[in-house]
Structure 1
């Protein structure tokens, strides 16, 4: 066989391989839903709230963008039929994550993040909002799920006023969580001051750590707790049941986890989604546990600063208020060019997490307070995509 024939044969083989790879990639993209319009991103558009005539729904549309545990978006809204300037916020007990959050503490923090976004949006849109927590009384803790259905977390009342431009408003439309690596740059004294001044409640405190000893210690807590969580099958299954493998699922459910949360974007997102759709085992069982531990380690290895929100007590009101503070802290961080990611595992309260939970409280809340949030903080190395959001009308319930 002549060299020319061999060469031509190799060209044909390589061309066939290339064509097959292109077909395979195109097939994975189709399986991923690359042609499916991402309706789950519509609420992130600044014009989204404007399509609602009721100003209450305009405010709620902004609250929908708030950070929330496991991206469950566990909010329900009841509009007051007798007063068009009042609505009520309820915790959606059908969206509890009972394995990682058995006492619904994170659920209450999530109610607070929502309320603070409403307050900030209200000022921008020309509404002065007043929030009254638990206006119909506290929950019956022995019948918590039922109590959430009857007792609102908050009564929100607003009155029209002159719009007041907020330096934080535009940052509400940024992705609330960045899980990528952060730059090694530490905070300046001025940045620390601005972050600290987001808190005006004497019953709460913000602690910021960027010395190497505490950064290493808190990183160790994060890795240890991630390893524990990865080894608890019922907890991992709970997360896996809300994983959305492709665009079709994301448009159908519009809440939960997806590959974007792992830092995958662009065409690689569709490649990953196509593969996970075809081979679900890639994101379940040991594979999911190993990926979770590895992603936590990568995060910890690229974290220059940690911050905590600590409350004097662990009442339901304090939990909600800590969420409100978290939103202010997050948006202020964004205004300073910083991003954040909660590291919630060590603060979860299921039995297997008892030892690190108790230990971190002995180390950092020895006076009897409760650490409501542990967060990594820093300058981003890359932008991350926005996460799924539900249609705001899905939050609305009738009396």
Structure 2
């Protein structure tokens, strides 16, 4: 078993991910990586039951940056796993903190559906804006209450980042966008399906993605976390998934190797850049999230809302892919960062997340665990 399938508890023991195994229409299915999904979600301990859902939360590069310690029969402490940092693309751990906010919100939703509420104390030993450390992210106490099932909770096991080209012939309806924008409570949420706005964000997100890929240190951070083919996904199903017959074939003939992907003159590099920019260029709408401040608590709240927006897109059968490159805090991205903030937060604040939406293919071999890009990118 591997990290995406279970949450390893501080002090020993594991919690298996909730859900069931999907049948995939390909012989390249990473079956051993998926096996624990059919064995979980039925814990008698309400904390473990809630956590078995929480580990399905979206997070940057699918790093799963959480460690949990259980105490007594109703307490849990959530920590940040400092081994999961992304120092080049997320130098202040802002995106990873948002991922932890997604985790905490999904834990809360699962607990509520099981007849429990959670009293949560964030950063009980303080916080550092320059980076996360080994101090606790949250102290949580479970207490029994009336069952409350959030309508969005029904879509938890179907949610994933759809990193495929979207259908240019299927516009997103304004009614669907309005429903999606209504589910957040902590942040200022915006979105547009206006053709001129969509064209602007297609261009900017393509530029930002290209900047990240053309800088060796930032691109290598992603390449090092790519899982190419069934064997690599089975061995370590975190990171960025490239499973399925197509990617197996590219790897087999030597086109898709890490060495080739890092070589700007190689076919693999050029095809990879073309593939990811085809995604940004087929966006049919965009969503974004702005917070007045940029404290750790702001970021946790943004994560809670981002999870809910992602689930709302799933409820509308819309593809959803975070495109956070333009929001990253390193010097080469300053032009795209400033342009994004000038347009989306002209009166101040921090643009925490940006995503594209549209109707896309339901790829048969896509894994049921959410493989994310920045938030991430899922």
Q: TM-score range by the shorter chain?
A: 0.7 to 0.9
**CA shift at 1:44, angstroms?**
4.4
Matched, 1:306 2:286: yes
User: Deviation digits for residues 317-353 of structure 1, max 9, x if unmatched?
Assistant: 1011101100011111111221210001111111111
The C-alpha deviation readout for 1:336-388, integer Å capped at 9, x for no partner, is 22121000111111111111111211122111111101000122233361265
Is 1:176 the counterpart of 2:154? The answer is no
Query: What does the per-residue CA deviation read over 1:153-177, in whole Å, with 9 as the maximum and x for residues that have no partner?
Result: 1122222234333322231112420
TM-score, normalised on structure 1? Answer: 0.79
CA distance in 2, matches of 1:79, 1:49: 17
Residues 76-225 of structure 1: pairs in structure 2 closer than 5 A: 76-80=67-71, 83-139=72-128, 141=129, 144=131, 148-149=133-134, 151-184=135-168, 185-201=170-186, 204-225=187-208
TM-score (norm 2): 0.83
* Counterpart selection for 1:41 from 12, 23, 34: 34
SS in 1 for 2:151: coil
Alpha-carbon distance in structure 2 between the residues aligned to 1:310 and 1:270: 39
- Once the two structures are TM-superposed, the CA of residue 42 in structure 1 deviates from its matched residue by 3.9
* 8 Å CA contact 1:244, 1:256 repeated in 2: yes
Q: What's the CA shift string for 1:213-256, capped at 9, x where partnerless?
A: 21111111111111111111011111111122333332332211
2:54 paired with 1:63: yes
Query: Is the contact made by 2:77 and 2:138 (CA closer than 8 Å) also made in structure 1?
Result: yes
Q: 1:180, 1:382 within 8 Å by CA — same for their partners in 2?
A: no
Q: Distance in 2 between matches of 1:105 and 1:291?
A: 30
Counterpart Cα distance in 2 of 1:303 and 1:224: 14
What is the CA–CA distance in structure 2 between the aligned matches of 1:112 and 1:388, rounded to whole Å?
18
1:386 maps to 367
In 2, the alpha carbon distance for the partners of 1:35 and 1:305 equals: 32
Any conservation in 2 of the 1:226–1:292 contact (CA below 8 Å)? no
Distance 1:246-1:183 versus aligned 2 partners, 3 A rule: closer
2:202/2:282 contact within 8 Å kept: no
Q: Check the 8 A contact 1:330/1:339 in 2, yes or no.
A: no
CA gap of 1:37–1:357, structure 2 versus 1, over 3 A, is closer
Aligned CA distance change for structure 1 residues 131 and 304 (closer, same or farther; 3 Å): same
**Structure 1 residues 36, 60: CA separation in 2 closer, same or farther (over 3 Å shift)?**
same
Quick check: which one's helix share is greater? 1
The 1:289/1:320 distance shift into structure 2, 3 A limit, reads farther
Q: Contact (CA 8 Å) 2:157, 2:368: kept in 1 or not? A: no
Q: What is the number of equivalent residue pairs in this alignment? A: 342
The RMSD of aligned alpha carbons is: 2.5
Q: Cα distance 1:289–1:130, how it changes in 2: closer, same or farther (>3 A)?
A: farther
Q: Structure 1 residue 370 and structure 2 residue 350: aligned?
A: yes
Q: What SS is found at the alignment partner of 1:90? A: strand
